[in-house]
Amino acid sequence: MTPFLYEKVSERGDALSLGTHPGAAYLGGGTNLVDLMREAIARPTLLVDVTGLSCKIEEDEKGGLRIGAGVKNTAVATDRRVRARFPLLAQAILAGASAQIRNMATVGGNVLQRTRCAYFYDDEAHCNKRSPGSGCDAIGGFNRNHAILGASPACAATHPSDMCVALAALDATVSIDGPRGSRDLPLTDFHRLPGDAPEIDTELRSGELITSIVLPSNGFSKRSSYRKVRDRSSYAFALVSVAAALELDGGRIKNVRLALGGVAHKPWRAHVAEAALAGRPATEAFFAEAAEAELRDAKGLRDNTFKIKLAKRVIVDSLVKLSNAKDAPR
């Protein structure tokens, strides 16, 4: 591990000032960053501890919720307001890591976590994300867990977060502060597809700090779910996951949100499927048509082509169950 300095801050201004130093990195729960440091993937020379900042869940002025970047994942999943108004988010968090990790991991850190691709963590492997220009051993190697959507010849890694898939479906916004001022980004625009620069995961600029996640008010509290298909029932990353939410009006789809996990370099918002379902009757046949349209451009590798059919089936099954659910909060 590269030697580093450590500073704990209690004010955002101090954090932003220290964050401009060359080699600085913000430290939240450390559940991903410390792993990356052990593996010599991340080599910060200054850790700025921001665990005391942005630790509240508050009502947003537009009727949603603002979740501070420093809030622990467990606190989000157990918050009464989240469970009542955004149950999809609570389900996704609880489908993720162990309770011990959820107790440490922060919302901001979850959004920023990097891929868990085995080649990325193997210093003997060729990985453009770890060493730009070195190649991607996943393309021709064992690639069962890799991307079927949005991949490039440079990288087929997938984004590991469950929470972010739910946030993508819920139209969440990332609030950011930095040396050039504050700004907001839709979560769907925050993460990047690999293209020819897979080492760049997000649109976060140098020295910038995530301050909160904003969840807008919606009508999905009664019909939403997070489905995660994985190789084992606990502590495993998704082969395919689906965050789905429906709002019905007389048997027709008034509003729908779909996002997929385990299939792309970023949480994959299923805009094509959503457009295909708008105003349609909530039937299995239309759900299947929409899933087919969303996965039309999916491309499997040697070991993961099964994900294409699996994703379609999980989309359809999730929507069928939601359309048949009783109109009562869970």
1-51: CATH topology is 3.30.43
Domain residue extents for the chain: 1-51, 224-323
What is the pTM for the complete model shown? 0.95
Residue 327: the pLDDT is 58
Length of the chain: 330
Q: Which residues contact 272 (CB under 8 A, 6 or more apart)?
A: 290, 293, 294, 296
DSSP H or E segment with residue 14:
helix 12-19
Look at residue 134 in the predicted model and tell me its pLDDT: 97
Q: Do domains 1-51 and 224-323 have the same CATH topology?
A: no
CA within 13 Å, CB half, 266: 23
Mean pLDDT over residues 39-66, rounded? 94
Which are the contacts of 52, defined by CB distance < 8 A and separation ≥ 6?
A: 8, 9, 10, 70
Q: What is the Cα 322 distance to its own chain's centre?
A: 22
What would the pLDDT profile of 73-113 be if each residue is shown by its tens digit?
A: 999 999 999 999 999 999 999 998 888 999 999 999 999 99
What's the CA gap between 138 and 26, in Å, rounded?
A: 30
Look at residue 65 and give its three-state secondary structure: strand
- Quickly tell me which residue has 């995530």 as its tokens: 210
Confidence of residue 18 (pLDDT cuts 50, 70, 90): very high
> 278-292: per-residue pLDDT in tens?
999 999 999 999 999
Q: What is the C-alpha to C-alpha distance for residues 186 and 215, in angstroms, rounded to an integer?
A: 10
- Residue-wise pLDDT for 222-243, tens only, equals 899 999 999 988 888 999 999 9
Residue-wise pLDDT tens digits, 115-173: 999 999 999 999 999 999 999 999 999 999 999 999 999 999 999 999 999 999 999 99
Q: How far apart are CA 5 and CA 18, in angstroms?
A: 11
| Domain covering 224-323, topology | Enolase-like; domain 1 (3.30.390)
Angle subtended at Cα 253 by Cα 250 and Cα 258, rounded to the nearest 5 degrees: 150
pLDDT at 330 over 50: no
Percentage of residues in the chain having pLDDT higher than 90: 92
The Cα 303–Cα 297 span in angstroms is 17
Q: Please, what is the average pLDDT of the chain?
A: 95
